[in-house]
Amino acid sequence: MLLKEFPNARIVRSNWLDSRGRRFDCGPYMSGARESRAAIGSLAAPKQALEDLTLPGGLYKGKMIRRLFVDDANSGYRFLTTSGMLQADLRDEPFIAKKVADTDPACLIAQGQILVSAAGSIGRMAFVDEHMEGMFACGDILKISVNQEKVSSAYVYAFLGSKYGMPLVIEGTYGAIIPHLNSEHLAEISIPRFSKDFEAEVASLVLRASKNRSKASQLLDEVSFAFDSGLPQDLRVSKSLDLNVVESSLLKKRMDAPFHSRDAALVRDYLQRGEHQSVGQFCSEIFLPGIFKRIHTEENESSAPYYNGGALFWAEPEPKAYLSRRTSLFNQVELKQGMVLVQAFGQEGGLTGKPVWVGRYLNGATTTHMLVRLICDDIEDSAYLFGFLSCQAAYRQIRVLPYGGSIPHFDENGIGDVVVPIFGNTLRSEISRKVLLACDLRDEAIELDRKARAMVEAAVQGYANE
């Protein structure tokens, strides 16, 4: 057999084993870390190890703790997992009991820290913004606390997320069933130090992105409050025990108990007392694309980014692949700006019923058929609908809709029956304005983070080519 017959194979020299702790698995040699290290090592610019730029104990994972969850912020902290820390909207993350979290206070995160997923999907990163401060990041997340007197954490975040930093982050991954990463694997990463003005410019982009996301979260919180605060006090919190008595005639449509939830019925009945419309009446079009065979290809003019359902909810969605425009039903799965998506497939307590806004960043991309598409004639109507679907008054109606055993799901008719309150013109316009501003800030944040990483990459390439 010839080496060229295996395109993903490479020759590993014996002296490489010494430099990587005598690791015999492929990861350290196939991640691109060696090439990144060579590029950074060739720079004339000074370099510093990451551990030398952090505060004492600034590379920390956390203890193995008992996960005891509570109902509200009075007795708990928001609990972030490796997947939760990536979400654009953290309002539905659970609360871990304060008495448990206080046994490991270093896991309570602070603004400006860098979070790195260290179990499962290794190397995912988040920059802690003002809205995230005080949340509890689990022991599967590495917390990097940079000494701001030595370097801006925003600059370090941009470097670690770049095409030169990421291979170095994931290089130390170990484990077969559930991959893991430890703090010592990041300690020796060399951070190139450029001019103060350059680093400050990169950091300013990341900090602006962070501020944008925090402001967007605040605006959407205000929108949700505008919808949920109209409910009577006893309807604002979902009941853990949900018992209901229904007329036999109502069982002709559905006989499963969750669909006849008293909690959902009370919310729906209350909203129907005021001016309202169903989602079906509010939208000009509602549809679920058909099942289609995906034709993946390279990134080019004849393809579009393809996102799986989960990635759409991230602060910075990453495409899984690129979908050829020759794919059947391509027009149905292509996303258009102003479209509202709602996850229609999945398990209870997951993403089912959660909305996604299609803004500039997702415009023209594609995604799975498992999200229902909601289209309005006017973008302000779409924004108002997205704002409502993000609140509890909507979610508690939607969560009872799924049916099916293996993969519960709902259809167009189900989401079409959800009751939407119609506010007066002034409040309605204000809600639409806040939603559009929030979504625009999130799109701009993605652009700023990408620009920061591109600047770092260009600087490394420029120095390396000198």
Are residues 103 and 10 part of one domain? yes
CATH number of the domain that residue 283 is part of = 3.90.220.20
In a domain, 460, yes or no: no
Note down the domain range covering 132. Answer: 3-193
Q: What residue type is 252 in one-letter code?
A: K
Are residues 119 and 55 part of one domain? yes
Would you state the pLDDT for residue 305? 96
Give the other-Cβ count within 10 Å of 85's Cβ. 25
In a domain, 199, yes or no: no
Q: Positive or negative, the Cα torsion across 350, 355, 359, 362?
A: positive
Are residues 249 and 180 part of one domain? no
Are residues 234 and 107 part of one domain? no
- List, run by run, the mean pLDDT of 10-residue segments along the chain (466 residues): 56 60 60 80 91 95 91 92 95 94 96 94 94 96 97 98 93 74 89 96 98 98 94 69 72 76 88 96 96 90 94 96 94 96 88 95 96 97 98 93 88 96 97 98 98 96 63
Are residues 249 and 152 part of one domain? no
Are residues 7 and 76 part of one domain? yes
d(CA 18, CA 24): 10
* Structural domain ending residue among the three candidates 193, 208, 235: 193
In a domain, 25, yes or no: yes
In a domain, 203, yes or no: no
Are residues 93 and 223 part of one domain? no
d(CA 66, CA 97): 10
What's the Cα-to-Cα distance from 441 to each of 115, 215, 347, rounded to whole Å? 22, 8, 31
Are residues 178 and 235 part of one domain? no
What's the Cα-to-Cα distance from 355 to each of 9, 227, 367, 387, 395, rounded to whole Å? 42, 15, 14, 9, 9
* Contact criterion met (CB below 8 Å) for 148 and 141: no
The two three-digit tokens of residue 220, written as one number: 């959407």
d(CA 187, CA 112): 18
Task: Kindly report whether the global pTM for this prediction surpasses the value 0.85.
Answer: yes
Residue 462 burial by Cβ neighbours in a 10 Å radius (0-12, 13-18, 19+) = exposed
Are residues 350 and 302 part of one domain? yes
In a domain, 184, yes or no: yes
d(CA 158, CA 165): 9
In a domain, 211, yes or no: no
pLDDT digits (tens, 9 = 90+) for 128-163: 999 999 999 999 999 999 999 999 999 999 999 999
* Structural domain ending residue among the three candidates 161, 193, 225: 193
Structurally, how many domains does the chain consist of? Answer: 2
Are residues 295 and 396 part of one domain? yes
Query: Residues near 185 by Cβ (< 8 Å), separated by ≥ 6?
Result: 171, 172, 173
Would you state the pLDDT for residue 280? 97
Are residues 184 and 133 part of one domain? yes
Are residues 307 and 180 part of one domain? no
In a domain, 398, yes or no: yes
Would you state the pLDDT for residue 1? 47
The β-bridge partners of 119 are 180
In a domain, 205, yes or no: no
Count of alpha carbons within 13 angstroms of residue 387, beta-carbon side: 34
Query: Residues near 161 by Cβ (< 8 Å), separated by ≥ 6?
Result: 125, 449, 453
**Going by DSSP bridges, is the β-strand pair 141-146/114-117 parallel, antiparallel, or unpaired?**
antiparallel
d(CA 128, CA 113): 5
What's the Cα-to-Cα distance from 359 to each of 4, 212, 341, 446, rounded to whole Å? 44, 15, 11, 11
